[in-house]
Structure 1
Amino acid sequence: MLELKNFYKRKVINFLFKKLNFSSVMQVPRIEKVTLNIGDGSCNNSKKNLVSIISDITMISGQKPIVTNAKKSISGFKIRQGHPVGCKVTLRSNRMWDFINRFIYIVVPRIRDFRGFSIKSFDGRGNYNIGIKEQIIFPEINYEKIDKTRGLNISITTNTNSDMHALELLKSLNFPFKK
């Protein structure tokens, strides 16, 4: 399952080294971590929602998430400080490469009306964020067992500070970007 990691080591590093004119191989950008985050303010009202979110993100990532709590109270959203509002998981090393491989080649083709990811989703420091509207596009999720569809945020953190270098890295890993 680590074909993408081997592809990165064998082909992408040499390709980016030549294309971006680096003086050392250590300057070549690499992916450091992938963070998955599901937020749902209704966890306050029902612990069943929190258990469902934890179950979904565990199946998607293969790793147990941590619960995120509200930092401050917001009465308009009925959120109290310290109460759970979602969960997140950080993937590194082999699990990260496995997730990226499954995401590019299995999950993305299942997205309805997909035309490519926007190159405007970089944060200015070489990190890329993807928002998924429904968690049901992941094959690990059983459609009959979900109580409601939730969004998912995927943050890909790289070691470079340049959006252009990170874009070249993701393009060379076959990320489908808009033309």
Structure 2
Amino acid sequence: MQAKLQEEYRRRIIPVLLERYRYRNVHQVPRIEKVVINTCVASASSIKEALEVAQADLGLITGQKPIVTLSKKNVSNFKLRKHQEIGSKVTLRGRIMYEFLERFIFAALPRIRDFRGVSAKAFDGHGNYTIGISDQSIFPEVELDKVKYTIGFDITIVTTASTNEEARSLLAEVGMPFSDKK
């Protein structure tokens, strides 16, 4: 069974983008390929416990088991050693990706205090959008009573759009609340 957002993309968004950018083929219309959620726990004395909590919360939010990320080099000022476990990440595709985006856009983002929309300047020049979330408690799956550590996330939405303008149009049609709507 398809997610509502995926069904809406196929039914409503593809024709809108086809008309707006005058694509010759349906396959030229930009689509969301994957969503990567990444978290990094600062090196601390209780890094093992914080890493476990981050993995548990990331797994709870995404519904998928996260993988552990390792440091690439030694940084003595941060007491960081090469190949030390420092964070975790999840890559979502397909139905699970659309379900996560639905919850993120329509349930989690409005729960941010003093939320006025997301920045439209966070595109990387190749049609990918990255947003930083400073607190995991905005997600409805996380119980506030059980939050031990505040964990931030980087959420990257990877699209097949070739320009930032096309990616912005795609995400705006999906429902991403940009702060400077045109």
TM-score (structure 2 length as normaliser):
0.95
| Contact 1:44/1:85 (<8 A) preserved | no
Measured after TM superposition, the shift of residue 43 of structure 1 is: 6.2
The corresponding residue for 1:59 is 60
| Contact 1:31/1:159 (<8 A) preserved | yes
Q: Distance in 2 between matches of 1:33 and 1:89?
A: 10
Letter in 2 for 1:46: I
Q: Distance in 2 between matches of 1:43 and 1:106?
A: 32
Task: Pick closer, same or farther for the CA change 1:64–1:43 going to 2, 3 Å.
Answer: farther
Please list the CA deviations of residues 8-63 of structure 1 after superposition, one character each: whole Å capped at 9, or x if unmatched.
00000000000011111110000000000110123674321111011000000000
- Mapping of 1:31-50 within 5 angstroms? 31-42=32-43, 45-50=46-51
Letter in 1 for 2:4: E
What CA RMSD, in Å, does the superposition of the two structures yield over aligned residues?
A: 1.2
The corresponding residue for 2:24 is 23
| Contact 1:122/1:163 (<8 A) preserved | yes
| Contact 1:127/1:166 (<8 A) preserved | yes
Give ranges in structure 2 of 5+ residues lacking alignment: none
Aligned pair count reads 179
| Contact 1:72/1:80 (<8 A) preserved | yes
Letter in 1 for 2:8: F
Give ranges in structure 1 of 5+ residues lacking alignment: none
Q: 3-state DSSP class of the match of 2:161?
A: coil
Identity of aligned residues (%): 44
The corresponding residue for 1:143 is 144
- The answer to whether the aligner puts 1:154 opposite 2:131 as a matched pair is no
Q: Distance in 2 between matches of 1:112 and 1:41?
A: 24
Moved over 4 A (4+): none
Q: 3-state DSSP class of the match of 1:153?
A: strand
The corresponding residue for 2:76 is 75
TM-score (structure 1 length as normaliser):
0.97
Q: Distance in 2 between matches of 1:46 and 1:170?
A: 36
Task: Pick closer, same or farther for the CA change 1:44–1:16 going to 2, 3 Å.
Answer: farther
Q: Distance in 2 between matches of 1:42 and 1:150?
A: 13
| Contact 2:43/2:78 (<8 A) preserved | no
